[in-house]
A and B are shown apart, each in its own frame.
Chain A
Amino acid sequence: MNINKSVSRLLLCALVAIVISSGCRESAPVETVTAIDQIVVRMPSEPKSLNPILGGSSLEREIYQYLFLNLADYDHQTLELKPVLIESIPEGRSVEEGIVAYDMRIKEEAVWTDGVPITGHDISFTYKIANHPNVLSPNWKGLLSEILSVTVDDGDPKKFTIRATDDYFLTKDAMLSTEIFPRHLHDAAGVLESIRLEDIRDEKALSKLLESDAFQAIAKSFSDIENSKTKVSGAGPYTVESVETGQYIVLKRKDNYWGDKYSEVDQLKTYPERIVFQFIKDETTALTLLKNDEIDVVDFSRMPVAQYNDLKSDTSFSNKYKFETVGLQRYVILMLNNENVKLSDRDVRLAFRHLVDLDRIIEQLAGGYGTKINSPIHYSKPQYNKNLPEHEYNVKKAISILESAGWSDTDNDGVRDKTINGRKENLSLRFHITGSTFSSGASSIIKESCAQAGVEIAIVEKPWPATRSENLNTGDYEMTIIAKTATPTKDDPFLSYHSSNIGIGKDNSLRYASSEADRYMELIRTTEDEAERLKAYMDFQEVFERDAPAIPLYSPQVRLIIDKQIDPVTSNARPGYFLNANASL
């Protein structure tokens, strides 16, 4: 056989040429940018959309918070609601029975990217488009359901009044903390201008509106997912400069930004010229890039704690990087199905609480970066009940509770049992886990102590979306471990723990039904007296602690590694750092 020598020579030459032209080190950088001009952040995955109405996950919010502004937002340090787009936080005035009006004015200098002033018409447009039936925004629709109308002042379009029902205690927070969209870019023809918000919500009026092509078209163009990354534009200090699917999103500072005047508002700050969000799936890759000075900010929470501590003790590394731990408003909770024949017994749940070695879980699985909790209300909030008893790991106590509740090992198989409704029930429970390092580790620790008390745990590994859909939503589970997130605003436990929210796909996955707890949750929602509301929060947590429908475990701390030169503002608010604001400036 003859191998064509000239072809192989040609291939060899081409290969050598490629290698030589590339060099081992990059010979022709695209554009040299100094570190301070650009902050590179590692993101483990890519956001689907940068449109807050269409998206809203924490991953997406991490980027669009620099593109869009709210009427008001939570101060990064105090977590209090502070004006951002508006001049001051409005006080509601009662205009008629059950209806409150809020008068506001947009800051004089506030303009969109193209210089068009931000007015009350933009607020009106935002609420209308979020309520459009063809815009997939169930969360926004729920949030804004109490808002009735937005009236813009004829003489001063920056002045406007929002009318809302006084049914829901978080309406004001929801109304002020939603991102505002530019009407002139999304509805240049003014299709929604002549349509009332109440007509979009009214079934009869809506069916007529849906006959209009223009009404349909506006939702279609707004929801166009292809434009939801590249063509998003808000009032925030940055704009999208480039998007490369699967690789990165680059934000660029707006020139002569109107917000520069308001140095006290963190959301309006424009510290770096560019913010680059680089999508890196693999943890080792992210770590290597960090060591090579190619990334400035990394959330190290998913990486092994030992590795984080090693880096922290490495002086060459810690001289260059700042190690921050931030306690975000997030908590890990052991969910128990209260409708399950065994777990409906309060004594079993109480015993179970004593079988969770929380110190070991926090130490071994979170490297000590976690705060023990005993309530579903975050410990950093004023509504948190500080008088609740501390979590106690005590196998003997658990055994004694189970014994006195009639659970004993009658057949000597090592598992406790009891006859309920004429049927012998073994105290063996299914524990659904996602297979993550944390859930596997925590379930093993719990299984170990349960075995000492004669409680059998069968671990079922399943991806989280399937567990949520097939088990939590349908009530076909016994226990699982999940992380819940909260916002800086007051909590509304009604959604997750009220008995009216039990059912297929509803939010009370615990199937917890207590008339006493229900009463406090209803009071939290309905009372206008803040002192009474605060007491209701305290009472609710006491009942929750007494009934133990679930076992709150701990609030994890986010482990951050940040280039010291960057020094962004860190906060308990998600994602824990704000790149547009420098802590020392």
Chain B
Amino acid sequence: MFRYVVRRILLIVPTVLVILLLTFWLQSLAPGDQIEAQLSLEGESNHMARSNYLDSYQTLQKERGLDLPLFFFGVQPSYFPDTLHRIIPKQKKVLLTSLLRQTKDWVKVSTYESSLQSLISQYRGGERDSKKVSIELSKIEQAKSLSDIKARSKNLKKIVDDSNVENEELNQFFVQVESLQTGSVFSYPVLQWHGWSNQFNRWLGRLFNKEENVSLQDGSPVIEKIGKALKWTISMSVITLVLVAILSLMLGYFKAFYRYRWFDKVSSTVLYVLLAVPTFWFASLMVIFFTTPEYGAWTDIFPSIGIKPSFVARSFLSELKDNAGQLILPIICMTIMSVSYLTIQLRSDIIDTLSKPYMLMARAKGLSDKQVLRQHALPNALLTFMTILTGYIPAIFTGSVIIEVIFNIPGIGRLLLSAVQEADWPVVFTIVIIISSATMVGYLVGDILLVKLFPKTRDSLGLENVSN
């Protein structure tokens, strides 16, 4: 058993690492430009001088390590330079990468780009013909394909020929555009080693450093932020788990005892309805009907939702005590949802066990219905019940996003949602590690509990092959 536990614990490390890699890779694919989002106000950049913007972009990019290559190594076409990740802003990088894929010639692409930028700054703010040139240049800058560049460059040449604009640099630019051709060089994938200085390594290093792993939203250490949220989530989840266990055990037992009678039929209908109702809707109804006197004074049973502001520093226990009333409704919602499923499952398992031949034997021996149920059917049916129940253990740490949002509880679910929405990756990463580790530890604890309670499950875990 000890070796089995050690083996399972050791497996957590690579599994978490794989989850972390997947999360990191997915966030790098997230649409939009997180630096631009941070620098703009309500999606606009009014009064923002372009040079200031690019300076700030560069500073923030460096600060967040986004100027580094993504991972330790990368596979890219042989004609790609190793400095492509340094191009800012992101849209420019995307356009140049696309152009590079078409031409397969970085030297020509970079020469073209620097000439274009030089011309854009030369013609900016000019008069009449210069203005026309400036507009055409910006159209070329936005072109998405080589054919677009060539077509727009032709338009520009026409404008230049028809006007009195004379510039040797412009003529050179036209030559450079002409020289850009669809590349036909043989290319092959190249494995490029980027070294230790990469985004993933930087993130990983900061993840376990309390001082450096800070939230992008408010600069507070991520672990402190998560700790505060976990307190609420764990408090609610533990109470919920205990309630779920007790209530579903009792209900399942009585439903089996009074099987096919009115109590069983009525309760089954209610439980199926509760199971079918979406959590967010049920929770919203509870809030609307039971926290306000709007539908009569008698419905105003529970206090308002959300944690009450405090103007003095206090311990979590006293905070919990002051807000215990606020936690009742979310706990009820979470409990009802799980109780419905577990009760139905337990009832059917008990009834299934009761139909087994050894139950007939027990009855033949003169045991009463109650005795058969309590001493034989229930303990045997509990295996499935316990398996499902232990599956809820990881939820102690993960919480419920819907419940926490609707009841305004600052738990881990709500924190994760807001971190994802705000692209606060340090928080997202840390929560992912905690949740994935907790899930694996939770399942391990569940398995150990099952083995202790039901020794016959050792076979299913392969423990027979592992010596103690």
Contacts and interface: CB of A to CB of B under 8 A. Distances in A.
Contact of A11 (B37, B128, B242): B242
A142 B218 contact: no
Contacts of B44: 484-485, 507
A1 B382 contact: yes
A12 B247 CA distance: 11
Interface in A197-235: 224-229
Interface string B447-458: 000000110000
B219 interface: yes
B53 A285 contact: no
B292 A26 contact: no
Contacts of B305: 285, 288-289
A224 B328 contact: no
Given A142-B52, A281-B414, A504-B141, A8 B246 contact: yes
Interface string A471-483: 0011110000010
Nearest to B327: A22
Given A22-B325, A26-B322, A250-B311, A500 B124 contact: yes
A515 B292 CA distance: 61
Contact of B50 (A288, A485, A506): A506
Interface string B299-329: 0011111111111101000000111111110
B39 interface: yes
A222 B308 CA distance: 31
A335 to B, nearest CB: 12
A131 to B, nearest CB: 9
Given A142-B52, A468-B36, A495 B324 contact: no
Interface in B85-109: 89-92, 94-95
Contacts of B128: 515
A274 B311 CA distance: 10
B287 interface: yes
Interface stretch (B194-202, B400-408, B428-436): B400-408
Interface stretch (A179-187, A458-466, A545-553): A458-466
Interface stretch (B73-81, B132-140, B268-276, B353-361): B132-140
A24 B142 contact: no
Contacts of B246: 8, 11-12
Given A465-B37, A499-B131, A499-B134, A30 B310 contact: yes
A117 interface: no
A238 to B, nearest CB: 14
Interface in A3-52: 8, 11-12, 15, 18-19, 21-31, 40, 45-46, 48-49
A228 B142 CA distance: 38
A194 interface: no
Contacts of A505: 36, 50, 53, 89, 91-92
Given A469-B36, A504-B95, A247 B309 contact: yes
Report the interface size class on chain A.
Answer: 35 or more
A15 B241 CA distance: 11
Contacts of A25: 303, 325
B220 A464 contact: no
A114 to B, nearest CB: 21
B309 A29 contact: no
Nearest to A8: B246
B303 A26 contact: yes
Nearest to A495: B46
A404 interface: no
Contacts of A473: 36, 91
Interface stretch (A133-141, A361-369, A448-456): A133-141
B317 to A, nearest CB: 11
A484 B46 CA distance: 10
B59 A504 contact: no
Interface string A126-159: 0000000110111101110100000000000000
Contacts of A31: 310-312
Contacts of B324: 18-19, 21-23
A248 B304 contact: no
Given A11-B242, A250-B311, A507-B45, A462 B135 contact: no
A28 B321 contact: yes
A252 to B, nearest CB: 8
Interface in A504-542: 504-507, 511, 513, 515, 518
A238 B169 CA distance: 59
Contacts of A492: 47
B407 A285 contact: yes
Nearest to A294: B304
Report the interface size class on chain B.
Answer: 35 or more
B139 A339 contact: yes
Of A27, A136, A499, chain B has the most CB atoms within 10 Å of the CB of A136
A276 B324 CA distance: 21
A257 B379 CA distance: 72
A503 B47 contact: no
Nearest to A242: B311
Given A466-B31, A469-B33, A469-B36, A499 B303 contact: no
Nearest to B386: A1
B125 A500 contact: yes
A463 B30 CA distance: 11
B309 A138 contact: no
Of A224, A285, A495, chain B has the most CB atoms within 10 Å of the CB of A285
Contacts of A371: none
A133 B59 contact: yes
Contacts of B328: 19, 22, 24
Contacts of B225: 245
A24 B41 contact: no
B161 interface: no
B274 to A, nearest CB: 20
B168 interface: no
A284 B406 contact: yes
B60 interface: yes
A470 B131 contact: no
A284 B287 contact: yes
Contact of A468 (B43, B135, B292, B422): B43
Contacts of A274: 311
B144 interface: yes
Nearest to B214: A226
A476 B92 CA distance: 13
A288 B291 contact: yes
B134 A142 contact: no
B364 interface: no
A219 to B, nearest CB: 10
Given A141-B52, A474-B95, A30 B322 contact: yes
B120 A503 contact: yes
A292 B91 contact: no
Contacts of B142: 339, 474-476, 503-504
Contacts of B42: 57-58, 485
Nearest to A475: B142
Given A1-B382, A247-B309, A466 B135 contact: no
A246 interface: yes
Interface in A97-145: 133-134, 136-139, 141-143, 145
A291 B55 contact: no
A247 B303 contact: no
Interface of B: 31-33, 36-50, 52-53, 55-56, 59-60, 89-92, 94-95, 120, 124-125, 128, 131, 134-135, 138-139, 141-142, 144, 214, 216-220, 225, 228-229, 239, 242-243, 246, 284, 287-288, 291-292, 294, 301-312, 314, 321-328, 379, 382, 405-408, 410, 414-415, 418, 422, 453-454
Given A485-B44, A500-B134, 12 more contacts: A24-B301, A24-B325, A25-B325, A138-B53, A226-B219, A226-B220, A247-B307, A282-B406, A284-B287, A294-B306, A469-B37, A504-B92
25 contacts: A24-B325, A26-B325, A56-B41, A134-B59, A136-B60, A138-B39, A244-B310, A282-B408, A285-B306, A285-B405, A292-B304, A465-B36, A466-B31, A466-B32, A468-B32, A469-B33, A473-B36, A474-B91, A485-B44, A500-B124, A500-B131, A503-B120, A503-B142, A504-B95, A515-B131
